[in-house]
């Protein structure tokens, strides 16, 4: 088979050319045009859209000073509740009518179509329906439209909205570029360590299970309509926290444990994570967590929050299955939740080792001491919280701890001193529960409930009286808002996250708590970084860098070397991101230095997964430095060689970790990194300015082919990732033919697995 077309493909150079064509098209001031820009890389899309906005304003204002105050390009985020781009443009023009002096109406760029993927099918159909109506409105409008789309939506619109598609003027396709991992916060929600009950429980010598049985088998109390607020308003605690629209813990757990269909997976929420494995920290910023998450249990918690007895019924069955209701004196119909000690008959073979009675005031005798129902619930919650913090984390345990604390809060006075600490721990538990759910809607609901718990806790303390507790809760609140930004209203949530971190830092100084101060600064930097992906990138990235630099001042390489390395990695990513907007050479070189500093402590032996992530980031920084040196071939060659070394190191660690039993995963896209590595080899093999020997070029081309084959085999067939890898592979096979003729092409095809050939051969 003879290949008749061969192309040299340099991703970033292609993107620059495409961008210039798009900018020129918009600068022509043509009316009633529809341009479609296709980009699957959200970070790249945001940079391009921001750069387009800024450069069009500068170039057009220099030509027409009479209309400087009127925008030339208007950016609009798609309204997900009513996705109608034309209606949004008309609304903007109605609110901002151009004056008679404006000769050229603005152009509009619509962002956010990719978010429709998370919406219901009805909303998606509504969007397509609105696009099909374009022919009604466009002839009457003087404006032009630039619609940013990911590739899946491009194909969907072509097929499902042909009326819109026939009006489009031009299409501009951008290719993904290597990007580093986003920066992260420290995974450790700050728990209330000063709860007296916890300290007392830690001193007991009785086993965990026996203590629970002494609480559970007593069928504690009939709580009735207990309320958290005992004032005249009598506000029910549970309603105050959960709200009318909250999803019950039980109903969500039932869905998730019984095969509830989950949405598109999110790699940042793995099955387990730990503070000791810093590579797992590279998933997502926000809450710091000490806990090791275990596998989800198979059993479902068949209890409702509103039924305080059911939690004990469930636990009694789990922990003391040999004890029947009759043996503990419960009525067969379960109407009475407790009896006096005289009514109970417990046989010699009973597992109960402690005696207790209920008095007329609904108190219990536990270990010869009177215990109120609220204290009993609180002890139960503390027990489970201790187990969770010790590593026994499961969705079931989290749910039980949450219910116990909520029931304890119902029996507390509104101004009880322990309430803020309990509320903080409750917020932490809801956050952890959000990490367990495989459904984005449930995650969002849990986070909202956690946020409400933190907010209520803040209303019950005075910051000046308890600055440490206040700062702790504000830090956790900022972390929860950071997580929530992934599922709804990202800009608003991130701004609230930043505000909470800043408030925490008002009462958390480096002099009083150096490590926590540095951790909050790191979290603040991460929140600014994420906000920069949505608005004011340069300003927010500078703020992120300032926060990271401040955190580094207080982490020492002697005592906190892994956290120091993590923040260096974060700082490198912020430098890289800023290089996309200003002074690219300087910021990219700083990024390289930061990543190298991180690798001084993130080594192959001490933290292999974290080391792989930073090596991946370092390779990406070198790749972009090489792309900036088009006129300096020697330096470009050096940067590409360094890029290959870093990517090779990352891939070697990935393969080594995969051999562990069980395998250890990494938190970056291995397929994307393989594609990047193949691309770097491909550039060395094809770009004439490097003047490499023929054998060296052939070796680089063979290395590119190997990485692309591995990418295709690892990707899900027919996925966008697979199609991208397959395109690179076909391109490399064509280049083999171009450089070595039929012999080269046959060699390349011999290295391709047979199952890929049916898709490759027709496209050659």
Q: Round to whole Å and give the CA distance between 246 and 238.
A: 11
Neighbours of 71 (CB within 10 A): 18
Give the per-residue pLDDT at 547: 96
Average pLDDT over residues 348-370: 41
Residue 343, preceding peptide bond in cis (omega within 30° of 0): no
- pLDDT of 752 > 60? The answer is yes
- CA distances from residue 76 to 37, 81, 109, 169, 240 in whole angstroms, order as listed: 15, 14, 6, 20, 36
Q: Where in 544-683 does DSSP place strands (E)? A: none
Average pLDDT over residues 68-84: 83
Average pLDDT over residues 606-623: 95
Bridge partners of residue 146, in order along the sequence: 35, 109
Give the per-residue pLDDT at 28: 79
Give the per-residue pLDDT at 187: 61
Give the per-residue pLDDT at 603: 93
User: Of 78 and 331, which is predicted with more confidence?
Assistant: 78
Contact 473, 440 (CB under 8 A): no
Look up tokens 């989800």; give the residue: 296
Give the per-residue pLDDT at 216: 41
Give the per-residue pLDDT at 535: 87
Q: What would the pLDDT profile of 478-517 be if each residue is shown by its tens digit?
A: 999 999 998 888 999 999 999 999 999 999 988 888 889 9
Q: What would the pLDDT profile of 275-328 be if each residue is shown by its tens digit?
A: 222 232 332 333 333 332 233 233 333 333 334 344 444 434 443 344 344 433
Among candidate residues 705, 638, 637, 716, the one with its CA nearest the CA of residue 677: 705
Give the per-residue pLDDT at 411: 83
Q: Round to whole Å and give the CA distance between 532 and 539.
A: 8
- pLDDT of 266 > 80? The answer is no
The percentage of residues in the chain with a pLDDT greater than 70, rounded to a whole number, is 71
Give the per-residue pLDDT at 753: 93
Give the per-residue pLDDT at 43: 74
Contact 479, 189 (CB under 8 A): yes
- Give the chain's domains with CATH numbers: 11-173 (3.40.50), 179-320+353-460 (no CATH), 577-763 (1.25.40)
Give the per-residue pLDDT at 48: 86
Q: What would the pLDDT profile of 106-135 be if each residue is shown by its tens digit?
A: 888 999 888 887 788 888 889 999 888 887
Contact 9, 15 (CB under 8 A): no
Contact 518, 556 (CB under 8 A): no
Give the per-residue pLDDT at 56: 79
- pLDDT of 636 > 80? The answer is yes
Give the per-residue pLDDT at 512: 83
Range of weakest confidence among 8-12, 319-323, 556-560, 739-743: 319-323
- pLDDT of 736 > 80? The answer is yes
Residue 68: what are its φ and ψ, rounded to 5°?
-65, -30
Give the per-residue pLDDT at 545: 97
The percentage of residues in the chain with a pLDDT greater than 90, rounded to a whole number, is 36
Q: What would the pLDDT profile of 167-184 be if each residue is shown by its tens digit?
A: 788 888 887 667 777 787
Give start and end residues of each alpha helix (H) in 628-669.
633-658
pLDDT tier, 572 (very low <50, low <70, confident <90, very high otherwise):
very high
User: Of 267 and 642, which is predicted with more confidence?
Assistant: 642
Among candidate residues 724, 577, 703, 706, the one with its CA nearest the CA of residue 640: 703
Q: What would the pLDDT profile of 438-483 be if each residue is shown by its tens digit?
A: 777 888 999 999 999 999 999 999 999 999 999 999 999 999 999 9
Beta strand pairing status for 144-149 and 34-38? Answer: parallel
Which of 163-172, 369-378, 720-729, 748-757 is the most confident on average?
748-757
User: Of 232 and 553, which is predicted with more confidence?
Assistant: 553
Q: Round to whole Å and give the CA distance between 556 and 554.
A: 6
Neighbours of 317 (CB within 10 A): 12
Give the per-residue pLDDT at 210: 46
What is the dihedral sign for C-alpha 609, 611, 613, 619?
negative
Q: What is the DSSP string of 691-718?
A: ---HHHHHHHHHHHHHHHHHHHHHSPTT
Q: What would the pLDDT profile of 15-53 be if each residue is shown by its tens digit?
A: 777 888 888 888 877 777 889 998 877 778 888 888 888
What is the pLDDT of the chain when averaged over all its residues?
Answer: 75
């Amino acid at each position: 088979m003879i290949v008749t077309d061969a192309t040299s493909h340099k991703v970033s150079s292609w993107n620059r050319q495409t961008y210039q064509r798009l900018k020129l098209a918009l600068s022509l001031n043509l009316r009633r045009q529809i341009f479609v820009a296709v980009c699957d890389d959200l970070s790249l899309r945001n940079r391009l859209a921001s750069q387009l906005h800024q450069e069009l304003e500068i170039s057009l204002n220099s030509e027409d000073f009479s209309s400087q105050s009127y925008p030339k390009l208007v950016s609009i985020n798609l309204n997900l509740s009513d996705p109608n781009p034309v209606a949004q443009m008309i609304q903007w023009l109605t609110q901002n009518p151009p004056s008679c002096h404006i000769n050229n109406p603005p152009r509009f760029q619509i962002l956010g179509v990719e978010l429709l993927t998370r919406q219901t099918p009805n909303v998606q159909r509504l969007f397509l329906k609105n696009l099909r109506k374009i022919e009604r409105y466009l002839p009457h409008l003087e404006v032009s439209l630039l619609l940013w789309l990911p590739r899946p939506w491009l194909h969907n619109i072509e097929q499902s909205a042909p009326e819109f598609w026939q009006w489009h003027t031009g299409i501009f396709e951008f290719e993904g570029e290597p990007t580093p991992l986003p920066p992260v916060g420290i995974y450790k929600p700050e728990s209330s360590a000063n709860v007296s009950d916890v300290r007392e429980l830690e001193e007991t010598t009785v086993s965990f299970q026996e203590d629970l049985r002494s609480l559970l088998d007593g069928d504690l109390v009939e709580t009735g309509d207990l309320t958290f607020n005992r004032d005249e308003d009598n506000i029910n605690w549970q309603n105050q926290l959960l709200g009318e629209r909250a999803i019950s813990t039980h109903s969500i757990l039932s869905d998730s444990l019984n095969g509830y269909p989950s949405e598109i997976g999110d790699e940042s929420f793995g099955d387990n994570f730990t503070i000791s494995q810093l590579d797992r920290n590279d998933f997502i910023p926000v809450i710091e967590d000490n806990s090791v998450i275990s596998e989800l249990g198979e059993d479902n918690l068949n209890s409702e929050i509103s039924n305080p007895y059911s939690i004990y019924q469930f636990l009694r069955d789990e922990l003391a299955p040999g004890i029947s209701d009759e043996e503990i004196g419960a009525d067969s119909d379960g109407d009475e939740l407790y009896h006096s000690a005289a009514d109970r008959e417990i046989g010699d073979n009973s597992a109960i080792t402690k005696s207790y009675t209920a008095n007329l005031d609904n108190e219990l005798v536990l270990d010869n001491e009177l215990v109120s129902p609220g204290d009993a619930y609180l002890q139960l919650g503390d027990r489970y919280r201790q187990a969770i913090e010790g590593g026994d984390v499961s969705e079931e345990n989290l749910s039980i701890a949450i219910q116990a604390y909520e029931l304890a809060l119902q029996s507390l006075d509104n101004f009880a001193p322990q309430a803020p600490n309990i509320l903080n721990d409750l917020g932490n538990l809801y956050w952890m529960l959000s990490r367990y759910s495989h459904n984005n809607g449930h995650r969002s609901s849990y986070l909202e409930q956690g946020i409400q718990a933190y907010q209520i806790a803040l209303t019950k303390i005075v910051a000046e009286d308890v600055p440490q507790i206040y700062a702790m809760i504000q830090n956790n609140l900022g972390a929860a808002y950071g997580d929530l930004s992934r599922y709804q209203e990202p800009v608003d949530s991130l701004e609230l996250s930043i505000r909470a971190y800043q408030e925490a830092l008002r009462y958390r100084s480096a002099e009083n708590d150096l490590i926590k101060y540095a951790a909050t600064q790191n979290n603040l930097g991460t929140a600014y970084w994420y906000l920069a992906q949505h608005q004011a990138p340069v300003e927010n990235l500078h703020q992120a860098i300032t926060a990271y630099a401040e955190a580094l001042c207080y982490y020492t390489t002697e005592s906190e070397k892994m956290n120091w390395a993590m923040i260096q990695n974060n700082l490198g990513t912020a430098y890289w991101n800023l290089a996309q907007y200003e002074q690219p050479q300087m910021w990219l070189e700083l990024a390289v230095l930061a990543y190298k500093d991180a690798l001084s402590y993130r080594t192959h032996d001490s933290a292999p997964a974290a080391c792989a992530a930073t090596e991946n980031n370092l390779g990406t920084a070198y790749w972009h430095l090489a792309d900036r040196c088009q006129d300096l071939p020697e330096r470009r060659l050096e940067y590409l060689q360094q890029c290959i070394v870093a990517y090779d190191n990352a891939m070697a660690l990935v393969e080594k970790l995969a051999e562990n039993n069980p395998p250890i995963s990494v938190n970056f896209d291995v397929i994307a990194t393989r594609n990047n590595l193949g691309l770097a080899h491909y550039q060395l093999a094809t770009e004439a300015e490097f003047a490499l020997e023929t054998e060296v070029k052939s070796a680089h081309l063979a290395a590119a082919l190997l990485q692309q084959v591995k990418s295709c085999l690892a990707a899900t067939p027919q996925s966008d990732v697979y199609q991208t890898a397959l395109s690179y592979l076909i391109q490399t096979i064509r280049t083999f033919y171009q450089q070595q003729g039929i012999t080269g092409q046959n060699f390349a095809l011999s290295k391709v697995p047979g199952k890929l050939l049916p898709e490759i051969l027709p496209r050659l």
